[in-house]
Amino acid sequence: MSKADIIVGIQWGDEGKGKIVDRLAREYDVVCRSQGGHNAGHTIWVDGVRYALHLVPSGVLNKHAINIIGNGVVLSPTSIIEELKQFGNLEGRLFISDKAHLNLPYHSLIDQAKERMKGDKAIGTTGKGIGPSYADKISRTGHRVGELLNPEKLANSIVENFKNLEPVMKALGIEIPTFKECLKDILEYKKSLEPYIADTTQMVWKALGEDKKILLEGAQGTLLDIDHGTYPYVTSSNTVSAGACTGLGISPKDIGKILGIVKAYTTRVGHGPFPTEDNGKAGDIMADVGKEVGTTTGRKRRCGWFDAVAVRHAARLNGCDSFALMKLDVLDGFETVKICYAYEKDGKEIDYFPTDLTKVTPKYETLLGWSSVKGIEKFEDLPKEAREYIGRIEELTGVKVEIISTSPEREDTIIL
C-alpha cells in the first residue's frame, strides 16, 4: 500500500503552494484538496498563461492526474462552476466528495453583513461565506454536496432552516429566498456538478491500495489554522497537515512525506498580528516586486521579513520533512536582508511562538543581500549570499530546504 504525501503552507497562506503542487503533480496519479473553500487562491503560471484556482486542485494541469475535492472542503457551487470554465471537460478527472458541505449564496451574504457590522473590529475575512458554512456544518444544520442529487428535498430543507435563521437574516438585512428560488438554483447546480459527485473516501482508499502516488494539498497556511493560528484572525478549518486526514478520510498511517511551503519573506492578508511586518520601503518593494495581491480578494498583502520563530513553530506542528522556499527572487537587489531569529516579550527574549502575540518585538540578524537569482536553475549557480541566506533559514528552523523557486514560471525551480 502506498502513502500520501502532503504539501502544507507554513506561514499565513499565499506561500506559492499552487506552483509547487503543479510542478510536482506531474509525478503523481492523484491530487487531492482537503479543506477550505473558494477563499483560497492558487496562482499557477505555465508558458506565460495565468491560471487562478480556488477550489479545483492544482493538479488539474496534469492531464494524467485524477483530482479530488475532499469532504473537508466547503464547496460553493457557483464558484466552482465558474472556475471550471477555464478548462475543457474534466469528467473522469475531477471528483467532488458527496460529503463536502455546500457553501450557498446566503452564507456569503451573512459573512459580509457581519463584517460590516463589526466595523473596526472586523476580522478581515474574504466575505466568501466560509465561516458561516463551517458554522452550519458544526451545528449540524448544513447541507452536503450529495444532497444536490435530490433537489426538491434539499430545497425544502434549506427553506426549513431559514425559519430558524429568520431573526438573524432580518437583523442583517438579508432577504430570505423562497422555495421556488432555491429549487431553481439547486437544479442548475445539479446539472453542472452531478458528473463530478462521488464517494471520494473510497476512491482514495482504492488508490492507496493500488499503490498510486497521491499528493494532498490544503488551503491557506498553518498560522491561519482554527486551533493553532493567531485566533481569532484565522480561517475556519484545520490548515495543518493533520487536517488532511479528516478532510479526506484517511488515517495518519497513510501519510508519507510532508513538504512545507515557505516564502523567502513573510506576507499576511487581512487583520491580525504580524511581528515582522515592514511598513517602510522594504515592505513596499516586496509587495510591488512580488505582486502581493490576493488571488481571491484582490487585496494588497502586508509584507515583512522572514520569521524563523513562526516557521520553526509551524514546521513542528506539521511534522515537515523539508521545505520548498518560494519567491527568493523577490529579494533580489536588497543590499541587506533580515531574518527574525527570536522575539522579545515583556522584556525577555523568547525563541518560541506564543499564543498571545501582543507586545511581541522581533529580534533580527542582518545578512548581505545579492544581485539576482531570477531564473537560476542550479543551486551552485546562486550567488554566495543567497546560498548563505538559505543555509541560515535551515539552521534557525531545523528543516532542510529541498526546493527553491526563482521565478513564478513552472520551470524556474531548483530541486536539491
CA distances from 225 to 8, 66, 90, 132 (A): 11, 27, 31, 16
Give the whole-angstrom CA distance, residue 255 versus residue 253: 6
Could you tell me how many residues make up the chain? Answer: 416
Q: Which residues are registered as beta bridge partners of 318? A: none
**Residue 115 region by backbone torsions, left for phi larger than 0, else alpha for psi between -120 and 50, else beta:** alpha
| Residue among 130, 122, 131 nearest 38 (CA) | 130
Annotated catalytic residue within 5, 14, 111, 329 = 14
Give percent helix, percent strand, percent coil of the chain, each to the nearest 5: 40, 25, 40
The DSSP H or E segment spanning 66 is strand 66-69
CB of 341 closer than 8 Å to CB of 349: no
Cα–Cα distance for residue pair 49/339, rounded to 1 Å:
33
Residue 59 in contact with residue 67, Cβ under 8 Å? yes
| Residue 14 bears catalytic tag | yes
Using CA atoms, how far residue 357 sits from 105, 177, 352, 353, 362, in Å, is: 35, 42, 11, 8, 11
Burial class (CB in 10 A: 0-12, 13-18, 19+), 204: buried
Which candidate, 220, 209, 298, 177, places its Cα nearest to that of 2?
209
Annotated active-site residue in 5, 38, 42, 107: 42
Residue 228 known to be catalytic: no
Alpha helix positions (H), 139-196: 151-171, 179-193
Give the count of beta carbons closer than 10 Å to the beta carbon of residue 166: 11
d(CA 221, CA 144): 25
Please provide residue 414's backbone torsions phi and psi, each rounded to the nearest 5 degrees.
-95, 125
- What are 378's three cell numbers? 542550479
Q: Which residues are catalytic?
A: 14, 42
